[in-house]
Amino acid sequence: MSQPKVFVTRQIPQAGLDALLPHVQMEVWPDRQPPPYAVLLEKVKQIDGLLCLLTDSIDRAVIEGGSSLKAIAQMAVSLRFSRSSAIYVGCVKHFLFVS
């Protein structure tokens, strides 16, 4: 069985990426700024999971545009998503990495 495809909208601490890497095929947006909305709409068509930040524009169009999208995780202190019964939406409240 192939691993789920996950798009990470920004560089997060390496320990977080390392924790995901054995379990998913991951693509990380390389820029410091969020991906343009049009890019995000295209990416969700190809992924199973989305790890985003509060500054990303995640709205109904993004959520519904991901036909295979199964999970959205947001690295922030609060949620800012439209509700959907078909997709798990989570909030990663604390990232504490000790090296």
Question: What is the pTM for the complete model shown?
Answer: 0.77
Q: How confident is the model at residue 84 (pLDDT cuts 50, 70, 90)?
A: low
Alpha-carbon distances of 42 from 46, 48, 67, 78, rounded to whole Å = 7, 13, 11, 25
Give 45-83 pLDDT, tens digit per residue. 999 999 998 888 888 899 889 888 888 888 865 555 545
In this structure, what token pair is assigned to residue 40?
Answer: 């995000």
- Beta strand ranges found along 1-99 (DSSP E): 5-8, 25-28, 49-53, 71-75, 88-92
Percent of the chain with pLDDT over 70: 76
3-state secondary structure of 41: helix
Class at the top of the CATH hierarchy for domain 5-92: alpha beta
pLDDT of residue 37: 95
Upper half-sphere CA count for residue 62 (Cβ side, 13 Å): 23
> Which is it for the CA torsion 94, 27, 79, 76, positive or negative?
positive
Q: Where are the domains of the chain?
A: 5-92
